[in-house]
Amino acid sequence: MSRASQKLTSRPGDLNAYFADVQTLNGVGEKVGDALTRAMGPRIRDLVLTPPSGLIDRTHRPTIAGAREGDIATFEVTVGRHIAPNARNRPYRVRVFDDTGDMTLTWFKAYPQSMEKMMPEGSRRIISGKCEVFNAELQMTHPDYVLAPEKAQELPELETLYPLTAGLGQKMARKSINSALDKVLAGPELGNWLDPTFQARQDWPDYRQALTLLHRPEHPVDINDDSPVRRRLAYDELFAKQLAMALVRERNRGAGGQSLSAKGDYVRDVLGGAPFPPTGAQARAFEEIKADMMSPNRMSRLLQGDVGAGKTFVAALACAFAAEAGVQVALMAPTEILARQHVETLKQFLEPAGLTVEGVTGRDKGRARDALATGMAEGYIDVIVGTHALFQDKAAFKNLGLVIIDEQHRFGVRDRLRLTEKGEATDLLVMTATPIPRTLALTSYGDLDISILDEKPAGRVPIETAILPLARLDGVIDAVGRAVKDGNQVYWVCPLVEDSELTNLSSVEDRHRQLTAMFGDRVGLLHGRLSPQEKENISLQFKAGQFDILVATTVIEVGVDAPNATIIVIEHAERFGLAQLHQLRGRVGRSDKKSSCLLLYQGPLSVNGKARLEIMRQTEDGFLIAEKDWELRGSGDLLGAAQSGLPKFTLANLDKHKDLLETATQDARLLVQMDPGLTTQRGLAARNLLYLFEQDYGIAMMRAG
């Protein structure tokens, strides 16, 4: 964020306690502060907004005779005989009893004098800890608490547990969080950002009460995901995220765009030169995009296409319309391979309209780079395709009117805003070939209108998917050999780059050696450790037919396009998410040839694993697959941690709280429409919420707008 933006978003003083360093807490020095930072974060807000990971319930008070192994139990007992060890490695034991029986308390490395002082023989004591059975007798090793009856109030009935790291124990974590909670509760009220009618209908506590019950629960259910306490705080977090995006959305709409107009001659030329007519979904999506570009408001739209649904063709139609309206187009892709493929594809689509398409990447140097810069600045280039190089301050355009960002999940909200600032009132179209359930789409694309491509181009033959055990590997290799003889190309996907002693999974290097021994130098190798130049060369060689088989990791998931490839073999398919398998399968079936996907699994399969692979066999509908994947795996694993681009939530669990997300989205958009400057009493509280959950870029957008 720029310094100007930082000034615009200076935090209200009411939140000072939340953003104080954890080392300002009593008893927290540098060592504990570092451990708390690693476990939860460096500020007090990080501590109080970290929910307990579990709970110890000490309200269970059985008799000794009624206790069960494994229970956390609290007893009031009489101290009997101390049994000091006769060897250094033996435990110190104390016999205790009640009216129903007796048990042994055990300590290792205990000092007799300390033990006798803590538990004098004949005294009454309250003890609490985990029950164990040893030699058919109840015992407790290192009790968590040993208290005199008059200090019974010091025993917490419900003891919260928190994420730990080296140098941080539960006792210190709990003490620090309680201290942090006291500090924020002593500070100013932040106001109520919830709609009062909605809050009353949900029967939710107010924010401070919810935060208190989260860390000092009155009942074990208070920390459960479905409790009013957790749902209230989860909603706060979701609402903050959706409110920030609603502010960006409103700013984009209200900022005023260029009302682009064109007769449509260039679009007709592109349609006339295309090898296929657009699908209904493509035509519908382009009409939505065109309507946005023609309106006086700035376009902010997501084009979400299933694998092979032809989103690049829709982008080409948008480029043609924009160019005829007299503005330039910039398309940004996450990798050089994908950027160069877009250049090639867009040139084919846009040549009939006589448009100039050029690529800019970090590899362009010297005169070539200067020539590109001149073409961009003077308007000779109609469509510029590039990677992050398009972000650079030196990159100047004559009249940038449309920005297209591909594979949106690799770029954040701030990235896309930054690129649109290269032009005046620039329209924005973002694209993804990763189908995501509608509810999850709201968490990443809540500031965008959405167009969906859910049809395949005419002439595409359904991909036949088979599920086979790895034991049939030899038969699969034979089938691949026959396919290669018939002139087909094959992808072979493995989960690892190289062999590992820690796992028996297949590696691309091992499989490449095996297949090269059988098929010679017509077998290529592609993985993430290669340089961008090497990856691009191998991809182009495969596309040109110089390899019959390409052995690869999931690096081919995005960006490798070889229409002649008709078979994809995926080893250890049970290790991949459905969304990723669907993306990989989409590398074939890109022509009118019959294509196959062979999913090889290592048995035995779990019930869940079998169900997931069966879904792949039954359907090619990426949106249905994404919904099923969420049901079976949960949102955290849906697209893979590094790939998903989904926001990370602390209090909200999308698998448990997805019903709240729709409401939060509608609530946020309504608040911004009713109070665009967030100046009402609720609006001012909502500003505090945005800062609290670090979504204050929304306020910067509001003021900039």
pLDDT in tens, 38-68: 999 999 999 999 999 999 999 999 999 999 9
Residue 463 pLDDT > 60: yes
Main-chain dihedrals φ then ψ at residue 326, nearest 5 degrees: 95, 15
Neighbouring-strand partners of residue 358? 384
pLDDT on residue 408:
55
Residue 369 pLDDT > 90: no
Give ranges for CATH 3.40.50.300 in the chain.
281-453, 463-619
3-state secondary structure of 30: helix
pLDDT on residue 410:
57
Average pLDDT in the 345-373 region? Answer: 86
Q: What percent of the chain has pLDDT over 90?
A: 58
User: Number of H helices and number of E strands within the chain?
Assistant: 24, 22
pLDDT on residue 445:
78
pLDDT on residue 3:
36
CA dihedral over 479, 481, 483, 486, signed as positive or negative: negative
Residue 173 to residue 161: CA distance in whole angstroms: 8
pLDDT on residue 590:
80
Neighbouring-strand partners of residue 552? 493, 526
Average pLDDT in the 70-92 region? Answer: 92
> Beta 72-83 vs 92-98: how paired, if at all?
antiparallel
Residue 1 pLDDT > 50: no
* Mean of all residue pLDDT scores within the chain: 87
- Fold for 463-619, please state it: Rossmann fold (3.40.50)
Top-confidence range, 205-209, 337-341, 363-367, 382-386 = 205-209
281-453: CATH, from 3.40.50.300, 3.40.1790.10, 3.30.70.1400, 3.30.559.10: 3.40.50.300
Average pLDDT in the 562-568 region? Answer: 90
Residue 566 to residue 559: CA distance in whole angstroms: 17
Of 62, 25, 60, the closest CA to residue 40 belongs to 25
Residue 392 pLDDT > 80: no
pLDDT on residue 298:
85
Least confident of 141-145, 301-305, 629-633: 629-633
pLDDT band (50, 70, 90) for residue 5: very low
Give ranges for CATH 2.40.50.140 in the chain.
59-155
Average pLDDT in the 474-497 region? Answer: 91
User: In this predicted model, which residue has the larger pLDDT, 532 or 294?
Assistant: 294
Average pLDDT in the 352-379 region? Answer: 84
The tens digit of pLDDT for each residue in 249-275 reads 887 777 677 888 899 999 999 999 998
Residue 144 to residue 447: CA distance in whole angstroms: 50
Residue 615 and residue 597 in contact, taking contact as beta carbons nearer than 8 Å = no
Residue 570, both tokens: 């995926």
pLDDT on residue 448:
83
pLDDT on residue 259:
87
The tens digit of pLDDT for each residue in 306-322 reads 877 889 999 999 999 99
Q: How far is CA 439 from the centre of its chain?
A: 13
> Beta 132-134 vs 137-141: how paired, if at all?
antiparallel
Residues 6+ apart with CB under 8 A from 182: none
How many residues are there in the chain? 705
Average pLDDT in the 495-513 region? Answer: 71
The tens digit of pLDDT for each residue in 138-179 reads 999 999 999 999 999 999 999 999 999 999 999 999 999 999
Main-chain dihedrals φ then ψ at residue 409, nearest 5 degrees: -65, -10
The tens digit of pLDDT for each residue in 219-246 reads 999 999 999 999 999 999 999 999 998 9
Residue 526 pLDDT > 70: yes
The tens digit of pLDDT for each residue in 576-613 reads 888 889 989 988 988 778 999 999 999 888 888 888 89
Residue 182, both tokens: 């006291």
Residues 6+ apart with CB under 8 A from 529: 497
pLDDT on residue 505:
63
pLDDT on residue 226:
94
Helix, strand, coil share (%) of the chain residues, nearest 5: 45, 20, 35
> Beta 124-130 vs 101-107: how paired, if at all?
unpaired
pLDDT band (50, 70, 90) for residue 2: very low
- Fold for 59-155, please state it: OB fold (Dihydrolipoamide Acetyltransferase, E2P) (2.40.50)
Residue 331 to residue 369: CA distance in whole angstroms: 17
Widest distance between CA atoms in the chain: 100
